[in-house]
Amino acid sequence: MYQEPSRWSYTFQTFSCLSRLRAALEAPGEAGGTPGSPVRVLERSVFSDRYVFAKQLFEAGHLQPLEWALYQQWHDVLLAHLGHRAAPHAFLYLRASPQRCLERLRRRARSEERGVQLGYLSRLHGQHELWLLARATEVGFAAARRAPVLLLDAEQDFEHDAARQGRLLAQVEAFVTSLSARPVPPHPHTPGTGQGAASA
Structural domain boundaries of the chain? 5-179
Residue 193 has pLDDT above 60, yes or no: no
Phi, psi of 49 (to 5 degrees): -60, -45
Q: Tell me, yes or no, if 155 is annotated catalytic.
A: no
pLDDT digits (tens, 9 = 90+) for 48-75: 999 999 999 999 999 999 999 999 999 9
Cβ-based neighbours of 74, under 8 Å, separated by 6 or more: none
Averaged pLDDT of the chain: 85
Cα separations (Å) of 106 from 1, 99, 102, 117? 18, 11, 6, 10
Catalytic residue among 4, 30, 43, 155: 43
Model-wide pTM > 0.75: yes
% of the chain beyond a pLDDT of 90: 61
Q: Which residues are annotated as a binding site for ATP?
A: 104-108
Tell the CATH superfamily of the 5-179 domain: P-loop containing nucleotide triphosphate hydrolases (3.40.50.300)
pLDDT digits (tens, 9 = 90+) for 140-169: 899 999 999 999 999 999 999 999 999 999
